[in-house]
Amino acid sequence: MKLFVLATLIAPHATYATSMHRTSSDPRDFDADLNMPGFHFVPFPFDWQNDPNGPLYDPVHDKYHLFYQYQTPRLWGHAVSDDMVNWSQLPVAVGTDAWYDAGGVFSGSGTVLDDEDQSVVLTISSSDNREIFVAVPKDRSDPNLVEWVLPDSNPIYNTTARDPTEIFQTTDGRYRIADGTAEGSELWECSGCEGVDDIVGGHKWEKIGMLQSKVEGQGYWECPDFFPLLGDGADEDVWVSKFSNTGDHWYTGAYDEDTGVFTPFDTEDRMYDQNTAFYASKTFLDSRGGKERRILWGWLISGKPEGSGWEGLQSVPRLVEGIEGTMLTTYPIPELEGLREEEGAAKFEDLAIREDGEVKQLDFEGRMFDVEAEVEVEGDGCGFRVLWDGADAHLDVMIDKGTTSVRMLVDSSVVETFFNGGRTSRTQFTQVTSKESVKVGLLGDGKVCNFNSLNLWKMSPYKFDATMVQ
């Protein structure tokens, strides 16, 4: 995973008038740091964070794990959750302990194997893009899987690639990993492997060939992701192949297990998010309760310089679902609605914003909030205006013409918006400079700009327990 440093100034610290109180286990001070998000994951101790790595659902202990690129040189940070909403911070999971990771523990994935122990394996890439190695839990019976070990047989294979996917199986049980190269994604198979001991040891991995070759003109395929498309709207046997380079780009297509080649249905450029700052995302299979769904996390490159405290966010967890056979949507998981506050919620109907340049301010304020709207939009200048009282600053979230529904999550300095049930999404950032409340306005452009229904809720920050590292 390459390093991006964007030059943006940090907002001066100021006092924020808010009723949010802190608990002793939660180190986030929303009053002191106006940009601190409440429901996007930020690790503690506050430091640099980049892409999500190895997210997984552990069916043995019914918990979700999130790892992420953390600090310099890069380590795997680690947090655990019962619901992907509230988090407990855990100590660093994988540090720079071996010759192959001395320069940093780079990106990778997490797998829960379909064996008796439901073995967990993290597949990781070295900072020199030459070795792929694994980490396994020191104690599988620890409910939080706090400690991880690097088996002596590491690295499992050497190549000129990085960012291994999770281990996935062919229908006849062969284990495979894809990784990212300068030419596209390559595919590896564990030769004659029967279980976890073979997977993590024995040097049995062999390269099959290219899973998908890049299209002329594309850069290095970072952080590839490869998974079957799920959901009622998906055709049978549709696979999703994603790579990261200037944003996250996905294809759907057919995967021939025999040849190990993925063939996209078309090569149109489709992105998870319109903003290239949604980057290096990773999905995992959530099998809680025997149901299966795909959850996506992306790194939101918010642009604070490295060394300025916390930097980089994880997107809200998004559900990836098939629609119209071969297309997909990404949409906030329903669990997030658990953070909506009843008090202060507002509901509006039939608001038509007619005048060009009109801003209609709503009677609603909050710092973190969730908006759902049904709309009719015929021009390009219709949307939301997020206003910071006492400052000139505002952020406009424009709604493309033809859109029928909008979901907007405003979380201090970051806004994620989903259009038409998540067919498209757009992440935006701002620097909060006012200590007053955030207000919401609607923007008109003289064309049809109707908010037929509009629901707004304040959001509580998630419960963050950092006692394990305090």
Ligand X SMILES: *[C@@H]1O[C@H](CO)[C@@H](O)[C@H](O)[C@H]1NC(C)=O
Interface ranges with ligand X (CB under 6 A): 83, 85-86, 155, 157-158, 203, 335, 338-339, 463
Nearest Cα to Cα of residue 288 among 93, 65, 15, 22: 65
Q: Looking at 28-119, which runs of residues are DSSP E strands?
A: 49-58, 63-70, 75-81, 87-94, 105-112
Closest contact distance (angstroms) between CB of 32 and ligand X is: 22
Residue 23 tokens, joined: 């608990």
Nearest Cα to Cα of residue 39 among 91, 84, 90: 84
The continuous run of DSSP H or E covering 443 comes out as strand 438-445
CA–CA–CA angle 176, 168, 221 (5° rounding): 70
Residue nearest to ligand X (CB): 338
Please confirm, yes or no, whether 370 is among the known catalytic residues.
no
CB atoms within 10 A of CB 59: 14
CA–CA–CA angle 4, 183, 330 (5° rounding): 60
Nearest Cα to Cα of residue 413 among 396, 433, 399: 433
Specify the residue, 336 or 432, whose C-beta has the smaller distance to ligand X.
336
* Helix/strand/coil for 469: helix
Closest contact distance (angstroms) between CB of 341 and ligand X is: 10
Closest contact distance (angstroms) between CB of 164 and ligand X is: 14
Specify the residue, 288 or 394, whose C-beta has the smaller distance to ligand X.
288
Specify the residue, 301 or 339, whose C-beta has the smaller distance to ligand X.
339
Specify the residue, 277 or 339, whose C-beta has the smaller distance to ligand X.
339
The continuous run of DSSP H or E covering 433 comes out as none
Specify the residue, 188 or 278, whose C-beta has the smaller distance to ligand X.
188
Nearest Cα to Cα of residue 284 among 441, 64, 98, 456: 64
Quickly tell me which residue has 């757009």 as its tokens.
426
Asked if 115 contacts 87 with a C-beta cutoff of 8 angstroms, the reply is: no
**Using DSSP, how many helices (H) and how many strands (E) does the chain show?**
1, 34
Residue 362 tokens, joined: 């709503």
Closest contact distance (angstroms) between CB of 409 and ligand X is: 14
Q: How far apart are CA 213 and CA 49, in angstroms?
A: 30
Residue 266 tokens, joined: 């078309």
Asked if 444 contacts 357 with a C-beta cutoff of 8 angstroms, the reply is: yes
Nearest Cα to Cα of residue 351 among 415, 441, 457, 458: 441
Specify the residue, 82 or 376, whose C-beta has the smaller distance to ligand X.
82
Closest contact distance (angstroms) between CB of 39 and ligand X is: 9
Instruction: Write down the catalytic residue from 51, 248, 370, 465.
Output: 51
Closest contact distance (angstroms) between CB of 338 and ligand X is: 2
Q: How far apart are CA 31 and CA 22, in angstroms?
A: 10
Specify the residue, 118 or 467, whose C-beta has the smaller distance to ligand X.
467
Closest contact distance (angstroms) between CB of 446 and ligand X is: 41
Specify the residue, 18 or 213, whose C-beta has the smaller distance to ligand X.
18
Closest contact distance (angstroms) between CB of 122 and ligand X is: 17
End-to-end CA distance of the chain: 29
Catalytic residues: 51
